[in-house]
Copies of this chain bind each other. A is one copy, B any other.
Amino acid sequence: MSLVSNTSTGEVVVLVGHPSTTSRTGAVGQAVAAQLADEFGPNPRVVELGELGTGPLGEGSVAVHEAEELVRHAELLVVAAPVFKAGYPGILKLFLDRLEPTALESVVAVPVVLTASSAHGALADLQLRLVLQAVGALLPVPSFVLEEHHLDDLPQYVDAWQGRFGTAVGAVVRALNAEQAYAR
Contact = CB atoms under 8 A, between A and B. Distances in A.
Interface of A: 19, 53-55, 57-59, 84-87, 89-97, 99, 101, 117-123, 126-127, 130-131, 133-135, 138, 140-142, 145, 165, 167-168, 170-172, 174-176, 178-179
Contacts of A178: 167
A118 B149 CA distance: 15
B127 A130 contact: yes
Copies in the complex: 4
Interface of A is mostly: helix
B170 A175 contact: yes
Given A170-B175, A179-B167, A89 B93 contact: yes
A142 B97 CA distance: 20
B87 A90 contact: no
B167 A134 contact: no
A138 B86 CA distance: 15
B117 A123 contact: no
